[in-house]
Structure 1
């Protein structure tokens, strides 16, 4: 099911770009009057000041990030439900494909695995279209700097897509040229080392050629900080500790980001694209168009109830395992877990007796914005892909692995201090200088700081503790199979055997 795949064509009157808009602030007439930023009109055609001649192609690449297969149902299942942070949720009979993810009974026929494969190759192909347009453009009036910046955007997005693919599937085909329908079915799989080399190359190029920031009308487009932040995570995943620390430090020292946004504000509409944000998938809505420029990420996880409390499908609910992971009185727990019978971040009394006892509080939308738009399902909420706290903790982890204890403790304390929010009676400062103890503390901090986001499963795999952790949480995890998803049988069949299955499936 592909709800958002659109072809954007330029004509002599209007070209409508993907929304790079954010919902900055609570409900107001200004908010309701917002239109998708980057819209082309007769006054700024062929592209807005500060844009470029390749925007119509770049637009499609950004737009594909909002699609069902990239940041909605398959994504939620693969990155969160498979971890010990979350359970399937919804109702027992609902979502059998998600249940396979939750219980690690995933079959090669799983439609969510196939959706992830198809969706990410669609992103990759859209990026390759941008690169092809640049390389074949003979217009000498287009400045080389404009071409470099457009290439950098495309390569950032392609690097992100391949990073997801190698962590999800392991061996995947490398496609660096435009293909019909984004097909990867007639190309043999490459080993992860080759895929990581391409990812590093793409993100290094992006980091060298993207701007530090964009004009407000282009908010949400990839920046130098986003490229370096993602590159740091790529290095960290490969245990390249020194490059990971050094690259994270570039982001930290850029003065583009900080931890000044209170934790309880980060995930609200007013917290979108804040100083905490390194990269977000952008979404927006208004009463006329409540979904067309949005993403269904919050909808599929929203509170499953009735009447005004019918806010979504109720999937991806916080587990009792995550609930027990927080230190006493850690305020991040309340902002992460919304309880049936509890109170929302906006002071609403949540009904008791809902289908699930807990829901993801980080995707909970502002009720005043819901009322103003006339829609309950939160399609306007951005998806946080990379936060500054994540970068700071990556630095801490890499520094500790390199024996740089002082630096690791300093960065760990930055994150805990923000969470503490002036209450010195909670979250005491970590002071251990033992490398193993500090490693455990940093891993614990990543879990509670980034709870119900998109890193826990991948963190467990790269730390080599997925089997012990997930089995202890009651999951049917097989270490010889379940670090990766199966190569979709549909894709193997289409390839006539060119693609081969992952071990254990």
Structure 2
């Protein structure tokens, strides 16, 4: 672990946002320190607000999108993205490094919040708010470690701010210990967090978010009964439902934000920059996914990530998710480029590539908070649709197929919204297909799905995934005669290398992982 890096993160001013009309509203930073703040409930809740955006920024900017490239949903020719396309990710890869460091920033922020709750909260802070804040810290730390362990395998467990000193020896800990930490912390967070928050705190972690994450953790570990148990708690709570249309989750409509709607279980919470600022801790997805600068009107829209042929061909006929997810020749979007009456996708775009529609909210004419390299639309970590699919898979378990009524009901609710016919029997392939089309370009789910299933099956799927994009069809240098790009992964490709900058500073990270002492 880069000890100096993390130590520096803890020296940052932790307070960055305030609780008034919204818990993410920007607060003045020049008068706040950890020693003179945290005197009442509002100030205590303010301390946790930064956890929802700032430390996640570099994770969200490109790293999480690169996971869809790794899985064969997307493609990109920028050198560090192309490494993901070719299963040739080097330890010096910029986006792997940024993702790793960003996730440890989340852990540092979480540990700082946990320390504040324990040691710096004033006497006026109520027990209830202390418990909520502790629950937030545990939830966020668990979420960060869940990404780390699935992506990099063994990494250091840091759960105490005293572990961050420059003279502290930091080693990797065993994967099973990381999962023990995740399950332990989420179980406690589920007891501490509220069922729901006030409107002013909408978007903060809840019991439902915790149980949803636990369901995904247990699914990853193949503990299907527990995965179903936690998915049941989310579904049976009655607090969540599918939005009428798939696009309701990603596109502002009639001036209404898609954020934190009835389908949202947990999202990263992005905010607009202060007046006059362009660079801020906001969502940059539109800049890299939009296929033309005309769509954004602010100088970005670079098609850095584009759909690959395998993903395009994976759509079933009539799937209503297709046009809200990808842009293809002939598609018309009246809600974009409204000053010209809408946007028609023509040959100029599709001769070379299809584009992504998902997370593209348009220009300032369509959504006033749009700025160069940022929007304030949230990033989905988990939606209710995914919880339904988790329960369906948990019911299937290790069986070849199932006709269980609950499992069928869950997957068919997702398919019905997509305009697809109901299934009468489901297999793992059916669930993986549905998850791929439902959750693409959200939180790396396709890659994590392939990494957790039978390894031989995953290698077969990935080996037959065409990573080409449209321009490759007429490019004999790209691969096969029809322009295909096929790459066979190795066993070692299922974990990314630890960043070289981290192992250079701390060579102990190259040693074998060691057990973690939970009793110290």
Partner in structure 2 of residue 423 of structure 1: none
> Residues 65-104 of structure 1 correspond to what in structure 2 (within 5 A)?
65-68=55-58, 70-77=59-66, 79-88=67-76, 92=77, 95-104=78-87
| CA 1:132–1:467: 2 relative to 1, 3 Å | same
Q: Which runs of 5+ in 1 are unaligned?
A: 22-34, 421-426
| CA 1:358–1:187: 2 relative to 1, 3 Å | same
Task: For 2:168 and 2:301, locate their aligned partners in 1 and report how far apart those are by CA, in whole Å.
Answer: 35
Give the superposed CA RMSD: 3.2
Say whether residues 1:106 and 2:89 are aligned partners: yes
| CA 1:299–1:449: 2 relative to 1, 3 Å | same
SS in 2 for 1:273: coil
**How many Å apart are 1:36 and its aligned residue?**
4.8
Deviations 1:113-151 (A, max 9, x none): 221221111110111111112222474443322221111
Partner in structure 2 of residue 25 of structure 1: none
Does the CA-based 8 Å contact 1:97-1:112 persist in structure 2? yes
Does the CA-based 8 Å contact 1:166-1:172 persist in structure 2? yes
Does the CA-based 8 Å contact 1:283-1:295 persist in structure 2? yes
Alignment TM-score, normalising by the size of structure 2:
0.80
Say whether residues 1:299 and 2:295 are aligned partners: no
My pick for the range that moved more, 105-114 or 51-60, is 51-60
Task: For 1:96 and 1:444, locate their aligned partners in 2 and report how far apart those are by CA, in whole Å.
Answer: 29
SS in 2 for 1:385: strand
Q: Which runs of 5+ in 2 are unaligned?
A: 30-35, 336-341, 466-484, 514-520
Partner in structure 2 of residue 315 of structure 1: 304
> Residues 470-481 of structure 1 correspond to what in structure 2 (within 5 A)?
470-473=462-465, 474-481=485-492
| CA 1:383–1:52: 2 relative to 1, 3 Å | same
Task: For 2:367 and 2:52, locate their aligned partners in 1 and report how far apart those are by CA, in whole Å.
Answer: 28
Partner in structure 2 of residue 350 of structure 1: 345
Task: For 1:18 and 1:182, locate their aligned partners in 2 and report how far apart those are by CA, in whole Å.
Answer: 32
| CA 1:280–1:498: 2 relative to 1, 3 Å | closer
Partner in structure 1 of residue 407 of structure 2: 408
SS in 2 for 1:274: coil
Task: For 1:184 and 1:277, locate their aligned partners in 2 and report how far apart those are by CA, in whole Å.
Answer: 42
Partner in structure 2 of residue 467 of structure 1: 459
> Residues 86-485 of structure 1 correspond to what in structure 2 (within 5 A)?
86-88=74-76, 92=77, 95-137=78-120, 139-178=122-161, 186-269=169-252, 270-285=257-272, 288-289=276-277, 291-292=279-280, 294-305=282-293, 310-339=299-328, 342-344=331-333, 346=335, 347-354=342-349, 356-367=352-363, 369-370=365-366, 372-373=368-369, 375=371, 377-401=373-397, 405-420=404-419, 427-432=420-425, 437-454=426-443, 455-464=445-454, 465-473=457-465, 474-485=485-496
**How many Å apart are 1:304 and its aligned residue?**
3.8
| CA 1:363–1:268: 2 relative to 1, 3 Å | same
Does the CA-based 8 Å contact 2:224-2:395 persist in structure 1? yes
Deviations 1:399-441 (A, max 9, x none): 1117672221111111112222xxxxxx221002xxxx52222
Deviations 1:88-115 (A, max 9, x none): 1xxx4xx211111111111112122221
Partner in structure 1 of residue 49 of structure 2: 59
SS in 2 for 1:497: helix
| CA 1:483–1:492: 2 relative to 1, 3 Å | same
Task: For 2:409 and 2:13, locate their aligned partners in 1 and report how far apart those are by CA, in whole Å.
Answer: 47
**How many Å apart are 1:288 and its aligned residue?**
4.1
Does the CA-based 8 Å contact 2:293-2:300 persist in structure 1? yes
Task: For 1:442 and 1:20, locate their aligned partners in 2 and report how far apart those are by CA, in whole Å.
Answer: 40
Task: For 1:438 and 1:56, locate their aligned partners in 2 and report how far apart those are by CA, in whole Å.
Answer: 46
Task: For 2:442 and 2:295, locate their aligned partners in 1 and report how far apart those are by CA, in whole Å.
Answer: 28
My pick for the range that moved more, 136-145 or 147-156, is 136-145
**How many Å apart are 1:372 and its aligned residue?**
3.7
My pick for the range that moved more, 448-457 or 349-358, is 349-358
* Paired residues, number: 462
